[in-house]
Structure 1
Amino acid sequence: MSGVSPEALDGARAVLARGRRGRLLPDEEVALSIVLQEAQEAEDVPPDVAAVVQAARERFVEGNMGLVVSIARRYVQPGISLDDLVQEGTIGLLRAIDLYDGRRGFRFSTYATWWIRQAIAQALTRTRRDVVLPRGIAAELARVEVQRRELEQALGRQPSMAELAAASGIDELRVRELQGYARSVLSLDQAVGEERDVTLADIVPDRDAEPIEETIEHADLRTVIAGALAHLEPREREVLAFRFGLEGNEPHSLEDAAAYFGIARERIRQIEARAIARLRRGDLAPVLRRVLED
């Protein structure tokens, strides 16, 4: 694209001219996202157009800071403040703004939530890596933890500090200190969130994951895959490409796909299963099966 279209500029200017504050309306999200997307794809953005684009971006941020704060409050942990989490969440918000396409028909908040949570989760795992316990403390902590589990099983309840100290052979004050160390170290298995229904592992992306296309050795196989995907329904093709890193995409989790397409995780799973089933029934089944199941 050589530049930003007049229609996109007019739409963004109309939104900005309203002078509204707070959360964006659905039509405003669409208008601002279009001008931002076109600006990213444009070969040349004149200064006057760049000013509109920057104002649109700032309006997007301003309209969604409440969402960032709301999400950040759920993940406050020892060693990292709410302000720090809000700052990290804002990084995720900016990423979501760059990628959001309002023409897909779902609200920005649905899409942005995943990116905000991901950025916050990364901050939490950095905090975990920064807290390195000396070997002696780690050994004491492990001994206390073993005794705690044994006592809990024997007593049918959480043991008191005095009981834990006696079983571990460690002074009660020291046990309390060790428990403080334990609370300052995060685990990927630790439940987080307002409802304690997810773990850090659920929301931290797998940095080692590679797009499936990177495992394809021959260019003609990519052509075969593209031809096969063309026979799917548009939504099926989009979901498969988004989930498995095809057609230039990166691979994404079910949760990521649900946020992007604005539908439930189970619905994404159903669309994905139906699409793969259709591909397997076709003439290209052996090839597609090898690619999709690698």
Structure 2
Amino acid sequence: MYSAVADNSSESESFSELGARALVADQAKPCQCELLSVKKAARIKKYCVTRELQKRAEKICSTEIEYVFSDHFVQADAGEQILQPLHKLCLELNPGIDEESEGVAIHYAPLYSVPLLEKEQEVILFKGMNYLKYRAAVLRDTIDLKSPCVGVLDRIEQKLKDAHRLRDYIIQANLRLVVSIAKSLTDRANSFEEIVSDGQMPLIRAVEIFDIDRGNRFSTYGTWAIRNFLFRSTKKGRKYRKTFVSGVESAAMGLSDFRSTPRSHESYHRSIQKVLKQVLHTLDEREQLILKRRFGLYQSDTPEKFREIADDLGISTERVRQLTIRSLQRMRDVIEEQNLEIPEIPEII
């Protein structure tokens, strides 16, 4: 069930060589020897060789190469600046069972076969993946379908293969996001295994379209993508969606549960406040007041209960709750549009 993405241990050696291979290939000049050998072979077996090569070229030209463009890709030293760090990192990374897998059922161990990525590692892998796709797309534009160069086709296919390998590594390192979210959505109709399997689809897509140049961690964007997908596809998720409509709300609602600890009070609390302050201006005065009081942004810096806010405003507790949810729903689009980073709180997810 997880083999397509999660179990790549057999490719660990090729992964360690990926960076060096990508760097050498990027520095190579357009080849001519392969084309000559093909022409020589074509004279011996003209139809089979040339037709096979043309089919291969046509397939490459018809394949969509999707990547997230970066201004760094067109710089004169792009290959060196992007692929040198990738080369070094690929030598350091070694897919294997991570410490977090201790105590996990053996059939879930592949989900933890790659350790969590540090921010710098994440940047290198995402840039490397998209740069390889970009270079493959550039080379594809040079293909002559009437007389395709086998060397160019080889380079394109290898770049796409290496980019796919990097993508799988990033996915593997973030499968914990799917697991943590799936735990809260398991019910009679949806088993844990089914939800984890379904959650891999939005994770894969999120990796493919994430823009690392914006400066945010992938875990924030990936959590959004996975939760939104699973919340729509599971009954329990749709129920949670009515209450916890966004990552901000999930985190903010948790302040009352964790604010007594030094970590949540000093770190998480400040982080949540910072995110809310950035988008509060999109609401009217009453909605701003409710959220400020509910999440500790008003005077005392202590989150207030719905009942306390309702008594002061002269409305029902249920009405305050509804206004809170509605306000957070309106803020969610702004947060997603600005791609703000929401602090991770594993206990809430």
TM-score > 0.5 by shorter chain: no
Q: TM-score by structure 1 length?
A: 0.44
Q: TM-score by structure 2 length?
A: 0.37
